[in-house]
Structure 1
């Protein structure tokens, strides 16, 4: 991000705030901003309204208004800095004079025209890439008054991915440009770039959410707020999981060294439904015993900002304890996720899991990494996620959904069902069997049927 510095300039009060951008000795850009401030209120170290002037424990309307004015000013100044920094990053090909002229016009149109006036003082950036940065910054702060936890690193990574994609589509995109026409053009472009329907769905959901977030300050099209987005689009990879027969083959496969280590982690994942980040960090020091049954405490990174702090306990069933017994009561040796993914492919190839499967595989294309549909050997499609999918799919026919949800710790039943890779016909048969068993246990009294 472009390094911008604010400074005061002028002899009259309040003084104008200028920005300076000087990436090297030969490039020096100074330009007036839409902001001004009394020099006594300026903190030259933090480059903002001096927050030490905030009155602590303010009780009167006047002091509360004073504090709000400082907070609002600094918030708008920081949002402006973020927006201009992104503009500079997007136009690094311009000379100092060209960039100065470009920024002057941009500030004139977007700020002096309608932003910095008595009626409209915007905090939320109108430019979409700046909006994403602002939202990440806004949601990275814990707000206990609203019971809001900061967003996770994975969520931040997801939003940055959206920003990078939108940069390729339209660097100057504004939140007020989002409507049905934008959606059609964007989806058409995503199709040409070979983005999967799952990725497209995620992008549109996040764009809609960010538009809703912005509607308090910007004129957002009602078309966007009424967008219908398929929450569970057809997934070409929906059938990938181990059967009980395949699990048995894996358990009895004669392996040594690193392949034996990877195989054992893979089996543990299928009987715990743990995400790979938690799986490979299992520690025997976190094992507890209750009524002669063993459990292990796990911290789920994905849920670390929830009310539970990501804490859950996972049962260590006999099949897992058997694996640990051959290692003197310890788990397999910890390895990196990348190495683990490579090794389990080798294990499955040795196991003979080479049936051709219609699926999608990530490949490097002229447009970047994309999931390319086709037929691939089963072993070549295996990733660490197969353990979680296998657990949900196989155990769903024996365990009630509510109990299975305790195992996976999914926040919704909808997400749990997304991991169940059993085909629809088999699921319906399983329901019929359970219904038959329930009816079979009922003793019908002829008098009750009248």
Structure 2
């Protein structure tokens, strides 16, 4: 029959570890630290338990009593199922009894994020209709940024952050540091918080103990009022097209700008197109591409004469996104796109974006291309068609992207328009009104 008892291995006049030893019969004996400690003068040799002479000793007494009961129950259960009872088993049961967590390298959030980065190309990612292998480059880079900023914070606090540490107090302190010390924008700070929440949820599914608060982390985003979206109207694009631009580099940038505002793609996808992406069907020009971020196949019909002319007769040479962002500001300045406009520009001195009114040409970037396309054609072309080209999956996200609040009359007006189109060729029906002989 198994027996369980406790003892001290030292009589020093200071706190020493309390050991639990278990005899399973036939000379099988295992012993480990319980994790509790006590001064030998407070230990009863007759009971092999703490003296209950102080409130603290009473707590230790009750914890040892709890452990004894838990171990007896576990031994009886596991021996009946042929589980090996050894020091590893005993260590696990002590931790299980008191819900302790083994601090491992995998339990450090920064290490876990690094493992995501290392396996980015082979990780399974849920997509519509199933799964695919590989995180997108932007997603991988987002995790790299979060790991780097987390490491910086750990260096500052001189403490590694484990999954079990992610409580409200730590999250609030980390967010405050991102916003006030690092002076990150709300959306940038929130992205790091969101990444941490995501890895916490994943780690818990893999059996790593995570603080229960992690699932309740609130992700804050910039309000629509704080979003300053820069677009180029059809009139401004016409001014850009007609502007007298001398520099070859700026002429090339203008071509990319004019194409970008007509095909509605992200900057990276725009700069990756070549003449090989062009095809013709029934005399119409089409541009086929696969979006880097979403992996969606997109086909855009090209109808603007000036864009067709560029694609057929003077296809622009490829440059980096950084260079294009520099050149298009000069292009827009030459075209006199100078209206004072609220926005944010990066300040190299502070390392942060500064919000104020600038001449509009200073605010134009490759991000403006896709937004200009969506904004200019919104309500002129059915929204689902625009979303199919831009790659947006939800109309709410599309509206936020162009800062367009929902128009409650829009669907009703579209329904009436399509209804009239369907029934416009039908002859009106003659109605017969019965004469009842009354007035």
| TM-score calculated relative to the size of structure 2 | 0.65
Can you list the C-alpha shifts for 1:38-71, whole angstroms capped at 9, x where unaligned?
xxxxxxxxxxxxxxxxxxxxxxxxxxxxxxxxxx
Alignment correspondent of 1:130:
111
1:302 matched to 2:293: yes
Query: What aligned pairs does 1:340-359 form with structure 2 within 5 A after superposition?
Result: 340-359=324-343
1:319 matched to 2:305: yes
C-alpha distance 201-142 of structure 1, shift in aligned 2 (>3 A): closer
Report the Cα offset of residue 149 of structure 1.
1.9
| Unaligned runs of at least 5 residues, structure 1 | 1-110, 305-309
Query: What aligned pairs does 1:201-220 form with structure 2 within 5 A after superposition?
Result: 201-216=190-205, 217-220=207-210
Tell me if structure 2 keeps the 8 A contact 1:355–1:378.
Answer: yes
Distance 1:225 1:142 in 2: 22
Tell me if structure 1 keeps the 8 A contact 2:288–2:298.
Answer: yes
Distance 2:280 2:103 in 1: 56
Distance 2:164 2:252 in 1: 54
Distance 1:156 1:315 in 2: 32
Alignment correspondent of 2:378:
396
Tell me if structure 2 keeps the 8 A contact 1:287–1:296.
Answer: yes
Report the Cα offset of residue 300 of structure 1.
2.1
Tell me if structure 2 keeps the 8 A contact 1:289–1:295.
Answer: yes
Secondary structure of the structure 1 residue equivalent to 2:106: coil
Distance 2:266 2:386 in 1: 15
Tell me if structure 2 keeps the 8 A contact 1:263–1:347.
Answer: yes
Alignment correspondent of 1:58:
none
Report the Cα offset of residue 401 of structure 1.
1.7
Report the Cα offset of residue 431 of structure 1.
6.5
Distance 1:430 1:403 in 2: 15
Query: What aligned pairs does 1:345-424 form with structure 2 within 5 A after superposition?
Result: 345-366=329-350, 369-422=351-404, 424=405
Distance 2:409 2:235 in 1: 20
| TM-score calculated relative to the size of structure 1 | 0.63
Distance 1:230 1:353 in 2: 34
Can you list the C-alpha shifts for 1:283-307, whole angstroms capped at 9, x where unaligned?
1123211121111222322234xxx
Q: Which of 215-224 and 145-154 deviates more?
A: 145-154
Q: Which of 342-351 and 405-414 deviates more?
A: 405-414
Alignment correspondent of 2:228:
238
Report the Cα offset of residue 433 of structure 1.
6.1
CA RMSD of aligned residues (A): 3.4
Query: What aligned pairs does 1:284-303 form with structure 2 within 5 A after superposition?
Result: 284-303=275-294
Can you list the C-alpha shifts for 1:399-446, whole angstroms capped at 9, x where unaligned?
222111111122333332232234x49x56866865775687789999
C-alpha distance 124-168 of structure 1, shift in aligned 2 (>3 A): closer
Count of residue pairs the alignment pairs up: 323
Report the Cα offset of residue 204 of structure 1.
1.7
Alignment correspondent of 1:163:
147
Secondary structure of the structure 2 residue equivalent to 1:298: strand
Distance 2:287 2:229 in 1: 30
Alignment correspondent of 1:199:
188
Can you list the C-alpha shifts for 1:103-126, whole angstroms capped at 9, x where unaligned?
xxxxxxxx9x979xxx99999811
Distance 1:332 1:269 in 2: 12
Secondary structure of the structure 2 residue equivalent to 1:302: coil
